[in-house]
Amino acid sequence: MKREQVADELLRLAADYRHVYDGGYAQVRGIREWARILDPESRQSLWDRLIESVANQEPTMWGVAVAVLVEEHPDGVAERLDDLLTRHRASDEWNNEIMFSLLSLGYRPATAKCFNHIKEGLLNGRGEVLRLLAASCRVDSNECLVLSSDYFGRVL
């Protein structure tokens, strides 16, 4: 399946699920089911297109794309997401989601970057980093415990 065909099918799937108001979960399921029937080359084209959606921060697609990539975890996806995080300037929401994905995947090379972001967020009272703190136990449970106890000791 050519790249254009993959993009067209993703658009068709998005249209199929546009009236399902579940935060994109059904669309994620639909893409994952479709991915299972693709040949390896077409599946790789799908992963590439989803990474592109994340990189371009496509408003209606990047969150769905991240969810599919994390759930399916194709080879090299953590490295590619980490590269996006390094190369792209984006909103806090996008950065947090990419970091959450890396932590959820247990991607250790991004540990220092993620912990620095979490520490900064905790110091600045950004509660949205608490889920990153929870997910950080997948990459370094000791540092997660230290940060958690320090933070909750201060705020409770």
DSSP-assigned states of every residue in 16-70: HTTT--STTHHHHHHHHHHHHHS-HHHHHHHHHHHHHHHHTT-TTTHHHHHHHHH
State both tokens at 78. Answer: 């953590």
Could you tell me if residue 112 is inside a domain?
no
- Per the structure, how many domains does the chain have? 1
Could you tell me if residue 151 is inside a domain?
no
What is the domain range of residue 28?
1-75
Q: Is 109 helix (H, G, I), strand (E, B) or coil?
A: helix
The answer to whether the beta carbons of residues 103 and 132 sit under 8 Å apart is yes
Could you tell me if residue 142 is inside a domain?
no
Could you tell me if residue 36 is inside a domain?
yes
State both tokens at 37. Answer: 């029937």
pLDDT digits (tens, 9 = 90+) for 72-124: 999 999 999 999 999 988 999 999 999 999 999 999 999 999 999 999 999 99
